Amino acid sequence: MLEILTLMLIGALAGVLAGLLGVGGGLVVVPALAFWLPSRGVAAADALHAAVATSLASICVTATASAWAHHRRGAVDVRALAWLAPGLLLGSGGGALLVAHVPATALTLFVAAFCGYAAWQMSRPRLVADVAGAPLSPRWLVPGGLAIGAVSAAVGIGGGSLTVPLLYRLGASLTRAIATSAAAGLPIALAGTLGYMCARTPPTLSGWAVGLVDFRLALMVGSLSVLTAPLGASLAHRWPVRRLRGVFAAWLLLVALLLLGRLLHV
């Protein structure tokens, strides 16, 4: 029972992050599941893949709750989302193939450097007012969605860490960028979940497992996120832009440091 409550609380934290920053929360959920699964007899060779797969399934729940909370406030840029979604789906579903010729170390270093640069940009005041402006150009949204989906699938990070800086750089207000990114996390999670469901199922996962996705664990993690994602979304709309920029910049730096730390343990 204690372990179940712990997983639910981890999901609750992921929900707050999803609503507040427009990210999936996988950086919280994946390490927790990767630590928890071996204690349940899952082989170490399968634990990390099952953790990523199950985290993506839980993000389907979290992203839906977060996106709906932002949509109710009219903050989701539906037009930008429509241009992003096809690339996100294709990129996430075939990300490993698209970046097959890029060494994992080089790709991870690139993403870490990008997150560090985006954090620096995010911490600086914008030259224009941080309000919703003209519609974003699909010229950058289509290839941007493809790249974000592919990198997210290959490196194992949530697309929000890349989607929010892209939309913000293209001129969206930070709140609208976060809201649209929260909605964009759903196609990434769906495509990734479906892909992992086609894999071999380790015998030590629960009877609820399909492929590498353990839906029992995914429901535990996602259960409280339905309640906490709207809380995070509420904070995103209430906090001043300066504070929101600082929090997101700190998140990007954390992503960069975790990616670099992963390289040190390879």
More confident residue, 183 or 27: 183
Query: Can you tell me the distance from the alpha carbon of 96 to that of 223, in angstroms, rounded to the nearest whole number?
Result: 30
Q: What is the pLDDT of residue 127?
A: 46
Q: What is the pLDDT of residue 132?
A: 52
pLDDT by residue (tens digit) across 215-257? 999 999 988 888 999 999 999 999 998 898 899 989 889 888 8
Q: Report, in angstroms and rounded to the nearest whole number, the Rg of the chain calculated over CA atoms.
A: 17
pLDDT by residue (tens digit) across 120-157? 878 776 544 555 556 777 888 988 888 888 777 666 66
Query: E-assigned strands of 134-252?
Result: 209-210, 213-214
Q: What is the pLDDT of residue 266?
A: 54
Query: Can you tell me the distance from the alpha carbon of 126 to that of 128, in angstroms, rounded to the nearest whole number?
Result: 5
pLDDT by residue (tens digit) across 33-50? 888 888 888 887 788 788
pLDDT by residue (tens digit) across 57-112? 898 899 999 999 999 999 999 999 999 988 888 887 766 555 556 676 787 788 78
Neighbours of 132 (CB within 10 A): 15
Output the six-digit token pair for 136: 């974003």
Count how many Cα atoms sit within 13 Å of the Cα of residue 45 in the half-sphere of its side chain.
Answer: 4
Query: Can you tell me the distance from the alpha carbon of 62 to that of 55, in angstroms, rounded to the nearest whole number?
Result: 10
* Phi (first) and psi of residue 213, to 5 degrees: -95, 115
